[in-house]
Amino acid sequence: MAKVKIELTPERVAAYEAAMARIVGVTGATTQVRLAEVIEVRQSSISDAKRRASIPPEWLLKLMRSHQVMPDWALTGQGPKFIGEAAPAAVARVESRLNDMTVVLQDTVDAITDALRMARMTADEFALAKSASMTELAKSRETIKNLQGQLRDMSADLSASNFTM
Is-contact 23 35, C-beta < 8 A? yes
Residue ranges with strand state E in 14-113:
none
- What does the alpha-carbon distance between residue 134 and residue 112 come to, in Å, rounded to a whole number? 10
Is-contact 71 61, C-beta < 8 A? yes
Nearest to 4 by CA among 54, 69, 68, 67: 54
Is-contact 114 129, C-beta < 8 A? no
Contacts of 66 (CB under 8 A, 6+ apart): 38, 39
Residue type, position 74, single letter: A
> Which of the two residues, 164 and 160, has the higher pLDDT score?
160
pLDDT band at 73 (very low <50, low <70, confident <90, very high): very high
Other C-beta atoms lying within 10 Å of the C-beta of residue 83: 18
Res 4: pLDDT: 61
Q: What is the pLDDT of residues 47-70, one digit of tens each?
A: 999 999 999 999 999 999 889 899
pLDDT band at 131 (very low <50, low <70, confident <90, very high): confident
- What does the alpha-carbon distance between residue 12 and residue 35 come to, in Å, rounded to a whole number? 21
